[in-house]
Amino acid sequence: MNKSTFPSSSAAATASTVSAEICIIGNGAIAKTTALGLANAGLKVILLGPPAPPVTAPSAGWDARVYALNHTAYRLLSSLKIWGALDAARVTPVDAMIVHGDGPHPGGLAFDAYGAHTDTLAWILEERNLNQALDAALRFAQNVTIVGGRAAALQRGDDLATVTLADGRSIAAPLVVGADGAESWVRGQCDIGLDYRSYGQRGVVTNFACEKPHHGAAHQWFTGEQGIVALLPLAGNQVSLVWSAPDALADTLRAESAQQIADRLAVYAADKLGALTPLQPELVRDFPLRLIRPHAMTSPRVALVGDAAHVVHPMAGHGMNLGFGDVAQLIDTLAAREPQRGVGDARVLARYERARKEDVLLMQVTTDGLARLFGADAEPLRAVRNLGLNLLDKIPLLKRRLISHAMGK
């Protein structure tokens, strides 16, 4: 990993300024991928984030948080030689997606790779697996300087943006990329307004072994008042739970043991997957579900990517995929700019925002609409949504178009 060129002492650091073409703020997978992608395009990049935690021996257990990555993410990570560096034994192809309705006459919808004319619909991988591959690539990346520190101020001028760190150091660059998550500091410095709504739900996540083979199928149950239950395939006879549970139920689930959660899941999954056994009983996590819709993805000398630019309901598993779509588009837009335009040129940034607008809006509207529709427990709505699932399942052309968009093909 390219080391920071900043002085180590506080006195020297106070007067220290370093320059690059792009300063990326964030320390997650989206920020790291952005740094690698832009550096691979020949741009000099600084990646600013909290100091990295000490390296520890890898755990044999499975992460509670997993991602369902589509073909857009696969192409981007493959182009950066990240995909081939993943632990392949812990990456699971999704060969089918089965959606179950609710009520006495539940509807249903099924997609499979064969019907979508592809080898696989998506891939399930752990957060740790992805970050380890990204960190390894960053250690040898050209044009990337890693800086540990906390941003405290952002000033933007006609030609440069300057990020001042809490210890007095500063970074000057024509473009700052905010890849710092849903509570984005960068977005806040730009006074970008946003629409915010809590879904009154939390995502409860943990992992189980299943008695029956899952055959690479991801299952999702819309349960009305119990929220949305998803079981995603992991390697072997194992699955990862993402339960979008109303807050009161989430509190109950977090107070229960993993085995008690498994017992609750039996009503949905027993006939498909058999008995569920907790893999790591102590590893149950949760995170808030909300809609965050910033009014812009750019500001003078600033571009936002990932959760800094949009947060959607996780029912479709596409929050991370939207972020990778942002990264791929930003790389393409900067690479295609005219020679006379810099990376922070307002027209160049406007092209990036326009190119992402449709895809982001479609995912926001779709996930938000489905969350509202399937969150309501009124019987007439239950009948309508089950009928809708059944009708969609019987229209192959529409199904193919829907799944093709979801796959990022």
| pLDDT tens by residue, 45-104 | 999 987 666 555 556 688 888 999 999 999 999 999 999 999 999 999 999 988 887 655
87: exposed, middle or buried (C-beta count within 10 Å: 0-12, 13-18, 19+)?
middle
Contact 95, 403 (CB under 8 A): no
pLDDT at position 13 is 37
Tokens of 58: 């890898």
Q: What is the CATH number of the domain that holds 342?
A: 3.50.50.60
393: exposed, middle or buried (C-beta count within 10 Å: 0-12, 13-18, 19+)?
middle
269 lies in the same domain as 381 = yes
Domain count, the chain: 2
Contact 179, 324 (CB under 8 A): no
- The secondary structure element, H or E, covering residue 329 is helix 319-335
229 lies in the same domain as 304 = no
pLDDT at position 3 is 43
Look-up of token digits 């390894």 = 136
Q: How confident is the model at residue 10 (pLDDT cuts 50, 70, 90)?
A: very low
243 lies in the same domain as 354 = no
Q: Between 222 and 357, where is the model more confident?
A: 357
152 lies in the same domain as 20 = yes
| pLDDT tens by residue, 286-311 | 999 999 999 999 999 999 999 999 99
Q: How confident is the model at residue 225 (pLDDT cuts 50, 70, 90)?
A: confident
User: Mapping DSSP to helix (H, G, I), strand (E, B) and coil, where does residue 174 land?
Assistant: coil
Q: Which domain holds residue 280?
A: 66-126+196-289+373-407
